[in-house]
Structure 1
Amino acid sequence: MPRIAFLHGNKRDGDAGAVVGIKEGLRQAGFVDGQNVTFDYRWAENDFSRLPALAAELVALRPAVIVVGGGSAAAVAAKSATSTIPIVLAFGSDPVELGLATSLERPGGNITGVIFPGQYAAERVRLLTTMAPQVRTIGYLRTGPAHSNAVTEQQTANVDAAARALGRQLVPFKVDSRAEIDAAMTAIVDRKIGALDIAAHPFFDDDATIAGLAVRTLRAKLPAIFIQEAFPNAGGLMSYGESYAEGFRHAGQYVARILKSEKPAVMPFDQTTKVELIINRATARALGLAIPESLAARATQVIG
């Protein structure tokens, strides 16, 4: 029975949709966990320093394929652990810029997969200002030096440029721990910053962090946006970004193709194009905001 290894930088409860999506993609190709494939999981629990050791553990199990999610650090760790076992990525970075592939069209090595393009960071700022046009300053909660790389810095620059183009001031807050998140949220309230954009990063993706940010932004009467739909589901105002479940379903289909003897070196990277806008109506009311017709028409779902 082929063994599929799964490496993720997040907590197990932080990206459960990833596992569901992969298994759905596999099932559509005739592969069912426990029947004709089996899974081994390793989760870094947001401690990205553990990723190299976890990747080495999975390689030692000699899986047929390694699936990687949860950011560029996990992808780099998997690539460093093996140059022969096929690796399927599902993440938001450019694998060519990271040195993981020769090109998106013809990767040339043992890595292929699905990219979440990540071009929606600036659009989240525009959506936030459309929902709360009175806001002049926008806090930007992002990771600090321990969890950041060139992708983080580029995303920050894109968000800052979008804010300036809209006549708003972006105020970044760099955090690498739960204590620093707490301190940043306190500073955001004390400085009377008008709204909050939470960066797309695995560090923020676990359920407890998302729920905590949703509660704190609602309590502070702070319009906020995040990439994950779990945020408005937990009481945050809105989310906008690629569908993780859809992206990982495509990744599952890539795994199935490799199990059927296709080679990652000649499998072009796919780019997920399904984007979802989720708005929490009850939270908007609590914040004294009316959902503009333009956003209501674009929304994938309005809840509450």
Structure 2
Amino acid sequence: MRRRDVITLASGATLAWLPFARAQQSSRKVWRLAFLNTDSWESEVQRALFEVFRDELRKLGYVDGKNLVIERRAAEGHYERLDQLANELIALRPDVVVAVATPAIAAARRATATTPIVMWGVGDAVALGFIKSLAHPGGNLTGVATMFSDTVGKSLELLHSILPAATRVAVLGRSNATHKRLFEEAEAAAKTLGLVTIPISAPSRDDLGQAFETMVQEKCDALFVLAGPIEPQIVLLAAGKKMPAIYQFSAYVDLGGLASYGASLALMGKQTAHYTAKIFQGAKPAELPVEQPVGFELALNLKTAAALGLSIPAAVIARADKVIE
């Protein structure tokens, strides 16, 4: 079966379920939802994404402050805090935990083997040991996969189209269990384009400044930022170093990044809300297949391109889903 057919079937199943969900809202139960984020609530991007998720829950009949209580915790980019925050949330006895990104998902899994966990954006959940298979998760976790490893090649092709003279590309990774594999994917894709990849590690946001100094010392022509918690400082540092950068989230382009290609985080948030509602209604995570993203987007920031002295080819602009002028 083609991937497009799979997505269509998954979307159709979700839509078919909606009347059932709304029909079940007669219960007087107040649901408790725990929300664990690796990023900061001070981030405008994170607030906007959370509102997408909460609004979708509202459409499904679950209203924060009425029949729903949401307990939120954020690690502010300090992954070492995630275990403590996850344990705090589990102590509140939530009906469901929503965990955003792989580090938070791993912490939630360590904190509980029984409370349902919905994953908002996970890499290879099988390889990471979170689930048994996409079709049959088999435990207390389910949710939405990112497919970022599948889009690495297209991201580097986009970078090569914008910067055909570039030869040395820095690949920026953080403290994320999926980044080793993503770098391997980037290295393999880069070779086919005649590019050399330089691995750059910044375990925490405090390491980002030194990471960019290393890129300059390594004479990198461009930067590819691997998927992870959105860090506005990366955009600022890239601008300061005149470093053209491509990302896996379009939110970076909104913040001033040059270009991005990857799954739509907003659509993934809506999918996550539907998983949450299904579990409220009695569905078991072990029996809910992990879905792929339902939308991918190519985003460009022409203002940033101009500031860098770059001219993005018209053919690339024509393919873009979002263009900031």
Answer yes or no: same fold by TM over 0.5. Answer: yes
Offset from partner CA, 1:258-278 (integer Å, 9 cap, x none): 111122121111111311111
- What is the Cα deviation at residue 62 of structure 1? 1.0
Return 5+ residue gaps in structure 1 as ranges. none
Among residues 47, 54, 58, which one is paired with 2:85 in the alignment? 54
Aligned partner of 1:37 in structure 2 is 68
Offset from partner CA, 1:200-244 (integer Å, 9 cap, x none): 122xx13xxx2x332332343322111222322222211221111
Inter-CA distance 50–94: structure 2 relative to 1 (3 Å threshold): same
Aligned partner of 1:171 in structure 2 is 198
Q: Distance in 1 between matches of 2:206 and 2:275?
A: 39
- What is the Cα deviation at residue 166 of structure 1? 0.3
1:138 lines up with 2:159 in the alignment:
no
Q: Distance in 2 between matches of 1:32 and 1:227?
A: 31
1:129 lines up with 2:178 in the alignment:
no
**Local SS of the residue matching 1:85:** coil
Q: Distance in 2 between matches of 1:262 and 1:249?
A: 18
The number of residue pairs the alignment matches comes to 293
Aligned partner of 1:180 in structure 2 is 207
Q: Which has the higher contact order (CA 8 A, sep 6+)?
A: 1
- What is the Cα deviation at residue 191 of structure 1? 4.1
1:193 lines up with 2:224 in the alignment:
no
Query: Residue 9 of structure 1 aligns to which amino acid in structure 2?
Result: T
Offset from partner CA, 1:60-86 (integer Å, 9 cap, x none): 111111111132x22122122222221
| TM norm structure 2 | 0.85
Among residues 269, 293, 313, which one is paired with 1:272 in the alignment? 293
Aligned partner of 2:308 in structure 1 is 287
Task: Indicate conservation of the 8 Å contact 2:225/2:245, yes or no.
Answer: yes
Among residues 180, 201, 206, which one is paired with 1:153 in the alignment? 180
Aligned partner of 1:259 in structure 2 is 280
Inter-CA distance 135–181: structure 2 relative to 1 (3 Å threshold): same
Q: Distance in 2 between matches of 1:260 and 1:220?
A: 51
1:7 lines up with 2:28 in the alignment:
no
Among residues 92, 100, 104, which one is paired with 1:69 in the alignment? 100
1:106 lines up with 2:136 in the alignment:
yes
Q: Distance in 1 between matches of 2:157 and 2:88?
A: 43
The sequence identity of aligned pairs, in percent, is 35
Q: Distance in 2 between matches of 1:222 and 1:60?
A: 45
- What is the Cα deviation at residue 171 of structure 1? 1.3
Inter-CA distance 114–179: structure 2 relative to 1 (3 Å threshold): closer
| TM norm structure 1 | 0.90
Aligned partner of 2:27 in structure 1 is none
**Local SS of the residue matching 1:12:** coil
**Local SS of the residue matching 2:128:** coil
- What is the Cα deviation at residue 142 of structure 1? 1.5
- The alignment's C-alpha RMSD in Å is 1.7
Farther off after superposition, 248-257 or 282-291: 282-291
**Local SS of the residue matching 2:97:** strand
Query: Residue 55 of structure 1 aligns to which amino acid in structure 2?
Result: A
